[in-house]
Chain A
Amino acid sequence: MTAPAAPAPSRTCNVTGFVVEREGQRLALANIIAGFVMLAFGGFQAILIALQRQGLPLSDDWWYRLVASHGATMLLFWLILFEVGALYWGSTMLLNTRMRAPRLAWANFAMMVVGILLAQWAMLSGNATVMFTAYPPMEAHTLYYLGVLLFAVGFLLACVFFLANVIAAKREGTYEGSLPLVVYGLVAAAVIAVYSLGSGAIAYGMLFLQSIGVLETVDPATYRLFFWGIGHGAQQVNLAVMVAVWYALIGFTLGGRPLNEGLSRVAFLLYIAFIHLGAVHHLLVDPGLGTSHRIMNTSYMLYLAVLASLIHAFSIPGAMEVAQRERGFKRGLFTWLKKLPWREPGVSALVLSVVYFGFIAGTSGVLMGTMQLNMLIHNTLFVVGHFHATVVSGTTLAFMGISYYLIPLLSQRELANPRMARQQPYVFGVGVAVLTLGMLLAGQLGVPRRVADLDYEGAQVGVEMYSAAPIPLVMGLVSVGAVLAVIGGVQFIWVMAKTLISGQRSDQPDAGLTFAFAQGSTLSPRMRTSDEPEGAEPSATTTLTEDRPDEAGGDGPPPTEGSGGSGHSSGLRGRWAKFEAPGTYALVLVFLAWFVVLYLVAHVNLSMSWPVG
């Protein structure tokens, strides 16, 4: 590996060995910290929204203001700011290169912050209670559209800076072989973002022009088509970054490498090509679009993107299993799983995020993408449960998990309160599980979304159906889950704030954490040449900190530095011996069975709603 062509002020990280360029480090940190501020703000709004259901005196007017702001704060501002930080981190530190155009990147950051402030002012002052979708003919204040536009354009420019870093690193030869898989996932996210933000700029641009009188009207159906390019597309950016973060967490905590790196890259390519088409599921009841367009995109083309998710769903636990078996945990199908370092926040956050995303978020999303089933739950809390499962249980939990490693490395401070860090993913994870399952169940029972008062007090015709059992109980579950999730969120913000403000300065900030970064892992460049035998081992393994004794004990020999384990042998005999990751194979069969059961249940519900014959 050669040094960067144009050296910039930099240091070598004593934990990972990465060359850290100062400007890239500062930019990544600034964006991530701004994201944390948004997460804290959105969490505060969440608890008010949830407790209003249990009698918290909050006017309907304020409830709608908070829901509008909560949606933008969490779905856009928190996640995208963190993602910009991740893009800068991945394209500089992981590629051994420097940040291109850092001054422009700082100006861009300032523009995004201004955009947030404008949009938040409009929403919280009651000038933009148009919700996240902002469908015309509803109108909001001009500054709302301008704020969202500034933020979206800022993200687009951040993606351009990221791609410029990646292309320049390749030209300068700062890394060997193909991009590390984690950076490849970030490239996929940036490419998805380019289309998504372009579509969003047109959607919000039309409304902005209408608000200043340039356009007389905006066609609602056309707006909806463009809007869902970003409304759903932004969530696909979250998805791609989340999968990249999953791979990064495997690299950080287990030193794992992908089972089949080429296949994982093909899965990212499938995301790039087809994941946007899932946006049509928001338009399945839209009268303007023809049936062919809707069904072809959601029930055929989208499955190519679902295939990509299934590849990652196998590859992620498979990489963990192989890494664990190479560390000596070979007995049986699931000893590797039992012996995972469950106290490591990156591991617990990773596993919970993968399980929630696969079993709840992904499956509910595919159900919603089926036209007939979509009719059952459209505009109910089921939809809200689905996207909380994706962006809270999945994406936010994954981002929290990697923050425990990134923030100490970037800020060069020891992680404050590692004990709380170890508990936090579980507290947050239980909370969001109760929250999302409660919402999904409430949606199945027909509870509508975006309604402040389920009893419609003061309406000429009273509505009592949502007061009947078991709906109050289910809505109570939603509130309990929200409270638990917010407690977990407060723990996370506390640990991060304490680390950043008063964490002990260190050149090797790995106290309380296990870094098992290895050559050939998901975080390092890797290239398989045509003369390299398939299944060849990485050239070297470097364990930078020793495993804790309680992880090494119990089963099999303790990990040996540089041994590389036993290659691809699972250590099993009989029919399972031919599998590289037999435990994962068994787990995906369980996942398949879960999928089948859900589809059967959904179709039984459908047959009861619309009896045939």
Chain B
Amino acid sequence: MSEEPQDTPWQQRLLDNIWLLVAIGVVVPGVLYLGWGLWELAELPTWGGG
């Protein structure tokens, strides 16, 4: 496994972290678009056939 050079700036190491990118890419739209949207729809009296 290759080692990150010691002098690599932390910002660069952060941007290179693929798992972090995946987490951001799922959580941000998951909360702002989907979660918030579902919450608003669930407030409707007719949602889910209710």
Contacts and interface: CB of A to CB of B under 8 A. Distances in A.
Interface in A375-405: none
Contacts of A178: 12, 15-16
Contact of B40 (A199, A274, A290): A290
A419 interface: no
A529 B9 CA distance: 7
Interface string A163-198: 100110011110010110000000110011011001
A199 B24 contact: no
A217 B49 contact: yes
Nearest to A2: B2
A289 B2 contact: no
A177 to B, nearest CB: 8
B12 A273 contact: no
A260 to B, nearest CB: 13
Looking at chain A's contact residues, is the secondary structure mostly helix, strand, loop, or mixed? helix
Contact of B26 (A188, A195, A266, A289): A195
B21 A188 contact: yes
A225 interface: yes
A528 B10 CA distance: 11
B33 A297 contact: yes
Contacts of A187: 18, 21
A171 B41 contact: no
A219 B47 contact: yes
Contacts of B25: 191-192, 194-195, 272-273
B4 to A, nearest CB: 10
Contact of A191 (B21, B38, B48): B21
Contact of A225 (B11, B12, B41, B49): B41
B7 to A, nearest CB: 5
Contacts of B7: 529-531
A528 B34 contact: no
A126 to B, nearest CB: 31
Interface string A246-279: 0000000000000000100110010011101101
B41 A221 contact: yes
Contacts of B22: 163, 191, 194
Interface string A562-584: 00000000000000000000000
Interface in B5-33: 5, 7-9, 11-12, 15-16, 18, 21-22, 24-26, 28-30, 32-33
Interface size class of B (residues with CB under 8 A): 20 to 34
Contact of A262 (B11, B30, B33, B36): B11
Contact of B18 (A167, A262, A528): A167
A301 interface: yes
Given A170-B2, A225-B38, A293-B37, A276 B15 contact: no
Contacts of B30: 195
Looking at chain B's contact residues, is the secondary structure mostly helix, strand, loop, or mixed? helix
A431 interface: no
A222 B38 contact: yes
A225 B2 contact: no
A346 B44 CA distance: 52
A265 B15 CA distance: 7
A420 interface: no
A551 B44 CA distance: 65
B35 to A, nearest CB: 10
B18 A166 contact: yes
Contacts of B33: 225, 229, 276-277, 279-280, 297
A472 interface: no
A102 interface: no
Interface in A544-559: none
Nearest to A279: B33
A173 B1 contact: yes
B28 to A, nearest CB: 5
A235 to B, nearest CB: 14
Contact of A173 (B2, B38, B40): B2
A538 interface: no
A163 B18 contact: yes
Contacts of B29: 195, 229, 273-274, 276-277
B9 to A, nearest CB: 5
15 contacts: A163-B18, A171-B1, A188-B21, A192-B25, A194-B26, A221-B47, A229-B29, A262-B12, A272-B24, A279-B33, A288-B40, A288-B44, A293-B37, A297-B32, A530-B9
Interface of A: 163, 166-167, 170-173, 176, 178-179, 187-188, 191-192, 194-195, 198-199, 217, 219, 221-222, 225-226, 229, 262, 265-266, 269, 272-274, 276-277, 279-280, 283, 288-290, 293, 296-297, 301, 527-531
Given A171-B1, A221-B44, 12 more contacts: A179-B16, A192-B25, A195-B30, A219-B47, A219-B49, A229-B29, A273-B24, A274-B28, A280-B37, A288-B44, A297-B33, A527-B12
**Cβ-closest 9 pairs across A and B:** A173-B2, A276-B29, A191-B25, A272-B25, A273-B28, A529-B7, A171-B1, A530-B7, A225-B37
